[in-house]
Amino acid sequence: EVQLVESGGGLVEPGGSLRLSCAASGLTFSNAWMSWVRQAPGKGLEWVGRIKSKIDGGTTDYAAPVKGKFTISRDDSSNTLYLHMNSLKIEDTAVYYCTTGAGDFDNWGQGTLVTVSS
């Protein structure tokens, strides 16, 4: 059974930075394409970005609102996905989910809440 466990969320001031982690198990992580999806309070789902497996190039793609602010990385030796978030704004407040999949999102973590507020 695939398990994805996010951590690292919390309260951060506008302009601040935060790093989220996603620990994966039950899958061959190095072969997995991984994405981050977020959900603002009371709002819908929003794709944030993805990272391909290293064998498929290891490249990243980002949604327009976070391009240049957020960086996705992976550590295949520890089966961990990261989301590095800089220059955070109030509108980045959301639950951030880690997901697996190339053309869709077949496994989801429980999410971690990021609150950007002064």
Which parts of this chain interact with another protein (CB under 8 A)? Answer: 35, 37, 44-47, 50, 61, 63-64, 97, 103-111
17 vs 31, which CB is nearer to another protein?
A: 31
Tokens representing residue 35 in the block: 């994405």
User: For residues 78-105, b (16+ Cβ closer than 10 Å) or e, as one string?
Assistant: ebbbbbebeebeeebbbbbbbbbeeeeb
Helix (H, G, I), strand (E, B) or coil at 67: strand
User: Are the CB atoms for 51 and 74 separated by under 8 Å?
Assistant: yes
User: Are the CB atoms for 29 and 21 separated by under 8 Å?
Assistant: no
- Specify the residue for token string 């989910």: 97
16 vs 47, which CB is nearer to another protein?
A: 47
Shortest distance in whole angstroms from residue 118 CB to another protein: 27
Shortest distance in whole angstroms from residue 13 CB to another protein: 27
56 vs 106, which CB is nearer to another protein?
A: 106
80 vs 107, which CB is nearer to another protein?
A: 107
Shortest distance in whole angstroms from residue 85 CB to another protein: 19
Shortest distance in whole angstroms from residue 78 CB to another protein: 22
